[in-house]
Amino acid sequence: MSEKNRLGNFFEDFQVGQKIAHAPPRTITEGDVALYTALTGSRFATNSADTFAHSLGFPRAPVDDILAFNMVFGRTVQDISLNAIANLGYAGGRFGHPVYPGDTLSADSTVIGLRENSDGRSGIVHVRSCGVNQRGQIALEYCRWVMVHKRDPQSPAPPTCVPELPDAIDVGELVVPAGIRLNQYDTSLSGSNELWEDYAAGERIDHVDGVTIEEGEHMLATRLYQNASRVHFNQQSERGGRFGRRVVYGGHILSLARALSFNGLANAFTIAAINGGRHVSPAFAGDTIYAWTEVIAPLALPGRSDVGALRLRTVATKDQPCTNFPYKTADGTHEAGVLLDLDYTVLIPRRA
Amino acid sequence: MSEKNRLGNFFEDFQVGQKIAHAPPRTITEGDVALYTALTGSRFATNSADTFAHSLGFPRAPVDDILAFNMVFGRTVQDISLNAIANLGYAGGRFGHPVYPGDTLSADSTVIGLRENSDGRSGIVHVRSCGVNQRGQIALEYCRWVMVHKRDPQSPAPPTCVPELPDAIDVGELVVPAGIRLNQYDTSLSGSNELWEDYAAGERIDHVDGVTIEEGEHMLATRLYQNASRVHFNQQSERGGRFGRRVVYGGHILSLARALSFNGLANAFTIAAINGGRHVSPAFAGDTIYAWTEVIAPLALPGRSDVGALRLRTVATKDQPCTNFPYKTADGTHEAGVLLDLDYTVLIPRRA
Amino acid sequence: MSEKNRLGNFFEDFQVGQKIAHAPPRTITEGDVALYTALTGSRFATNSADTFAHSLGFPRAPVDDILAFNMVFGRTVQDISLNAIANLGYAGGRFGHPVYPGDTLSADSTVIGLRENSDGRSGIVHVRSCGVNQRGQIALEYCRWVMVHKRDPQSPAPPTCVPELPDAIDVGELVVPAGIRLNQYDTSLSGSNELWEDYAAGERIDHVDGVTIEEGEHMLATRLYQNASRVHFNQQSERGGRFGRRVVYGGHILSLARALSFNGLANAFTIAAINGGRHVSPAFAGDTIYAWTEVIAPLALPGRSDVGALRLRTVATKDQPCTNFPYKTADGTHEAGVLLDLDYTVLIPRRA
């Protein structure tokens, strides 16, 4: 029997400092953008219209940041998380050069931490993943940590190494895409008048709409990113698995949360950072996804009067409208029904 | 609690003469066209092949007219029909400049009529909507009227104003795309030999095929157009709603009816007008859609010997094959199972 | 009642030697490629990234060969197999000029064999179908044979004519795309180190992953190819049909099998021939598809040291993991659960 098929890396295959080039690279196209719109309903004007993007100084409409994120993430799965038990969290995510249709993204990951679990059957792998375009410009980089099975529970534990990760990307490190000027930003075309000055720390926004996920949809999204993690696709094997059914790829929940956030954050034209995030619980076909956002802090950007940043917490739920902003219980754990807890930073025009 | 989310306009928010610019604009791409083909199965040669379109004088394949219609309609929903009880009808629809991949469509609507319902809880809003490309050329315009909830039943009724709308677009106002010459039209590539001269008033065509709709499909289509009307997406809320389930966006039925009509009208290479139309009853996932067409009248186009027009009535049904042309009962109401009653005008080559 | 609708050809409509031009032609776009990726999860680097394809001498990423096959097949359905009882087999399939986004494919078929069945109610039609691009370059050609209903069982049987078809495309007739040089092939980007020298005759590879098909997915795929065969779309009529439900288009199973084969054959960067193939049994929504491959023979290509060929047998199954390589029973018939038995030839780089 051939061993040419790949079963993915197990915990003992990783070493701190190891750098893994992921395959294959991926040319992003207008076709990907159309599918992303059809799968998420995203309406941000900068991603929707070349004309609008051009008026801000973009050569054309950049692709949605979460589409770019999912494309990079998709590259990493085969090497990092094919044998993952859980995708535990994100931190230190920063978006760099915008991604345009025609760009080819490659990705690599560096192992930055390892910690075996006490039962000796699995461990936590921390990686920093980076997506670059065909000119070597960084599109985004982020850290994530996943719990991965050991192939052999008898294999020795590696030295424990847990990386120090920042609570948030510093405002001085946020990238405003080169050449962008927000003075011409036309709020009649973006769908909202609310700009940077209109958001206050502590403000909470219910994004109102809910969207029910179908099996066909989440699998289309996940395959679009060439994410081959089997838990999303194989109903026969998952029937006997942990949840009895296929699990929705967490990145699709990220996409839906960002798309839903348009209703209240229509002018948050780009994501600059993912400070931290957790997929709190799994979603399944049939679940209806809602989201709400708290403004953690408005942030002025050094030297810019045309654009500011908002650090946000967006929470996505399932089967739970967000009128009352469901989040955590008294004991600090997330309420049942919370899917995603995402701390991120967006850019938004300032009032002239 | 923030009020930055948008809950849409209610009946008392509209005034006759008001002009509303819709957001966001939308660049149409080859990705949209591919998805449209996958969602509808449309086979009209002019939309399917650049080479065929070029042989007629188009610079490349224009997008399907109903795709353009749905893209413009999608823009209007947030402002016009988010709180609609029903989308009652269309009239005065006229297609202008063809839409090509790469074009960016913007849309606005002008309120042309208002009439409060007798129960004081809702009213009918008439709008003329217009979609223009990035050069300001009109792609299409049409009137529609919708029944919209009042926010406050106590608010005073506006003066009643019901616009006079034409029964049909006059033949002299139909637009043949500039530069198009149909003398080279190759029927071996279009899939049918029947041209303008072959259709007679009163002729009825059963389009034979039926297509069953899935939840995942109609939601993909509706999001592709960035139509955010909640009744199409939220199974949790619709379970307790009027129909107990998600409603298929009526424009998807239009798309399917046009695609099905290929089998019998393969040379109707473009739609020139929507004279009038009604979504007679709602469709749901699981319904199988059929269509048939009656030729209302062949129309000669002034000064053209290469192309003529056909005024058509296409009726779409659910779970009802159209062998016997289901339409209306003796009392003039539509038969159960009729979804769409569309009076429109197509262009079709004349025999040389 | 109009007879303008097309009901497709019946057995007695075919004559040996008849050549049928299919309508409409189809421009392949990046949108089609994105949808194909989303529907299949294909990860072959040559089709995934313009940069990678360019490094091999392609002007840009060619479309997946099975996408091209399905686009050509889709053209033929209206004329050849609308009234087919079964799609019986393929042989003599050869890929020629690569297909790129922007290319327009036209197709024709020549009837090369006819044999009426003994019951006089149907017969077998053999055709050679050919897909060419807008410059008249052959993209692919293949023979298939289908069992087709007679319109009138009383119509006389045609002379029996059964074509001689080759067991396999001769190695000297395989087309290596012009200008391709594999010396720069970067296995760190393709996802596997295994090249031509690493595959041995008789070797069997389990492709491991399984993917469950949804109704919405197979219909999207089939419509993308403009294949209008009713058995794939109409649940109302199929409920009373042979299987009680919609049948998955066999070409979608081909697509999934090729995509699954990436896990073990990642460097098989193009398909050069379809030597023979059978859809052994039908697939339905809900089925989980698996695949395995046997290396029939490594084949050296005359005059090439950079690239070789592998003749393969890929078997796709439903609800049947392929750890034990399910294939045929002792009596030579296919095991239950086998869907596809495909004998084909791929190109793969040789070790420098």
- Percentage above 90 pLDDT, chain C: 96
Cα(B270)–Cα(B347) distance, integer angstroms: 6
Count of beta carbons in the 10 Å neighbourhood of residue A186: 14
Is C125:C14 a contact under the CB 8 Å cutoff? yes
The H or E element that residue B347 is part of is: strand B338-349
Q: What is the pLDDT of residue C280?
A: 96
Beta partners for C142?
C129
Residues of B in contact with C239 (CB under 8 A): none
Q: For residue C233, how many other CB atoms are within 10 A of its CB?
A: 27
Q: Give the 3-state secondary structure of chain A.
A: CCCCCCCCCCHHHCCCCCEEECCCCEECCHHHHHHHHHHHCCCCHHHHCHHHHHHCCCCCCCCCHHHHHHHHHHHHHHHHCCCEEEEEEEEEEEECCCCCCCCEEEEEEEEEEEEECCCCCEEEEEEEEEEECCCCCEEEEEEEEEEEECCCCCCCCCCCECCCCCCCCCHHHCCCCCCCCHHHCCHHHHCCCCCHHHCCCCCEEECCCCEECCHHHHHHHHHHCCCCCHHHCCHHHHHCCCCCCCCCCHHHHHHHHHHHCHHHHCCCCEEEEEEEEEECCCCCCCCEEEEEEEEEEEEECCCCCCEEEEEEEEEEEECCCCCCCCCECCCCCECCCEEEEEEEEEEEECCC
Q: Which of A226, A216, A280, A224 is nearest to A253 (CA)?
A: A280
Residues of chain B with Cβ-Cβ distance to C77 below 8 Å are: none
Compute the nearest-CA separation of B106 from chain A (Å). 9
Q: pLDDT tens for residues C335-345?
A: 999 999 999 99
What pLDDT shows up at residue C184?
87
Q: Indicate the SS3 state at residue C92.
A: strand
| 3-class DSSP assignment, residue C15 | coil
Reported as a single tens digit per residue, the pLDDT across C302-313 is 999 999 999 999
Average pLDDT of the residues of chain C = 97
Residue from the list A31, A106, A214 with its beta carbon closest to the beta carbon of C29:
A31
Q: Which chains touch C (3 or more CB pairs under 8 A)?
A: A, B
Residue B46 has pLDDT above 70, yes or no: yes
Residues of B in contact with A37 (CB under 8 A): 223-224, 226
Nearest CA in chain B to C227: B41
Q: Which residues of A touch C (CB under 8 A)?
A: 1-2, 4-7, 21, 23-27, 29-32, 34-35, 78, 101-102, 104, 106, 134, 214-217, 219-224, 226, 228, 230, 233-237, 246
Q: How many residues does chain C have?
A: 352
Mutate to test the interface with B, among A28, A36, A52 (most CBs of B within 10 A): A52
Nearest CA in chain A to C294: A2
Total residue count of chain B as it appears in this document:
352
Mean pLDDT throughout B29-48? 98
- Average pLDDT of chain A is 97
- Cα–Cα dist C185/C268, whole Å: 12
- CA geometry: angle C204, C208, C211, nearest 5 deg: 130
- Asked if residue A29 lies in contact with residue A63, where contact means CB atoms within 8 angstroms, the answer is no
User: Is C1 a residue whose pLDDT tops 70?
Assistant: no
Residue numbers in C near B34 (CB within 8 A):
29-32, 34-35, 224
Q: Encode pLDDT of B251-309 as tens digits.
A: 999 999 999 999 999 999 999 999 999 999 999 999 999 999 999 999 999 999 999 99
Q: What residues of B are in contact with residue A266 (Cβ under 8 Å)?
A: 23
Query: Nearest by CB to A224, which of C34, C51, C191?
Result: C34
> Taking residues A124-132, what's their average pLDDT?
98
Instruction: Evaluate whether B128 touches B143 at the Cβ level (below 8 Å).
Output: yes
DSSP string across B24-90: --EE--HHHHHHHHHHH----HHHH-HHHHHHTT-SSPPPPHHHHHHHHHHHHHHHHTTTEEEEEEE
Provide the residue count of chain A: 352
Interface test mutation site (partner A, options C42, C44, C46, C48, max chain A beta carbons within 10 A) = C48
CA C307 to chain centre: 23
Query: Does position B350 have pLDDT exceeding 80, yes or no?
Result: yes
What are residue C139's phi and psi, to 5 degrees?
A: -85, -40
Q: Nearest CB to A25: which of C45, C212, C263?
A: C45
Q: Do C233 and B217 touch (CB under 8 A)?
A: no
Max intra-chain CA distance, chain A: 68
For residue B216, list chain A residues with Cβ-Cβ distance below 8 A: 214-217, 220
> Could you tell me which chain B residue has the CA closest to the CA of C219?
B38
Residue C340 burial (CB count, 10 A): 23
Beta-carbon separation of B221 and A37 below 8 A: no
Cβ distance C26 to B40 less than 8 Å, yes or no, reads: no
Q: Whose structure tokens read 């097949």?
A: C73
Distance of alpha carbon C52 from alpha carbon A93, whole angstroms:
27
Q: What is the pLDDT of residues B196-239, one digit of tens each?
A: 999 999 999 999 999 999 999 999 999 999 999 999 999 999 99
Q: Rounded distance, CA A289 to CA B236, Å? A: 9
ipTM: 0.97
Q: What is the mean pLDDT of residues C66-87?
A: 95
Q: What are the pLDDT digits (tens) for A146-205?
A: 999 999 999 999 999 999 999 999 999 999 999 999 998 999 999 999 999 999 999 999
Please list every residue in chain A whose beta carbon sits closer than 8 Å to the beta carbon of residue B230.
Answer: 209-210
DSSP assignment of B168-227, as one string? S--GGGPPPPTT---TT--HHHHT----GGG--TT-EEE----EE--HHHHHHHHHHTT-
Mean pLDDT of the C328-334 span: 96
* Mean pLDDT, residues C282-295: 98
C-alpha–C-alpha distance, residues C280 and C342, integer Å = 10
pLDDT of A1 strictly over 70: no
For residues C142 and C99, give the distance between their C-alpha atoms in angstroms, rounded to a whole number. 16
A-chain residues near C310 (CB < 8 A): none
Mean pLDDT of B103-107: 98
Nearest to C174 by CA among C57, C346, C312: C346
Rounded to the nearest angstrom, the minimum Cα separation between A277 and chain B is: 23
Q: How confident is the model at residue C352 (pLDDT cuts 50, 70, 90)?
A: confident
Domains of chain C plus CATH, in order, are 15-160+178-349 (3.10.129.10)
- Please report the pLDDT score of residue A307 as a whole number: 98
Interface list for chain B against chain A, based on CB atoms closer than 8 Å: 1-2, 4-7, 21, 23-27, 29-32, 34-35, 78, 101-102, 104, 106, 134, 214-217, 219-224, 226, 228, 230, 233-237, 246
Contact check, Cβ <8 Å, A24/C194: no
Whether residue B166 has pLDDT greater than 80: yes
- Show which subunits contact B, needing at least 3 CB pairs below 8 angstroms: A, C
User: Which residue reads 């980007």 in tokens?
Assistant: C189
Angstroms from A105 CA to nearest CA on chain C: 8
Residue A250 has pLDDT above 90, yes or no: yes
The tokens describing C136, both together, are 């008249």
- Asked if B48 and C32 come within 8 Å (Cβ–Cβ), the reply is no
- Compute the average pLDDT of residues A235-252: 96
Q: Single out the residue of A63, A72, A74, A73 nearest to residue A40, CA to CA.
A: A63
Question: Residue B1: pLDDT above 80?
Answer: no
Residues A265-319: pLDDT tens digits? 999 999 999 999 999 999 999 999 999 999 999 999 999 999 999 999 999 999 9
CA separation for the pair A170, A167 (Å, rounded): 9
DSSP assignment string, C270-282: EEEEEEEEEE-S-
Helix, strand, coil % (nearest 5) of chain B?
Answer: 25, 30, 45
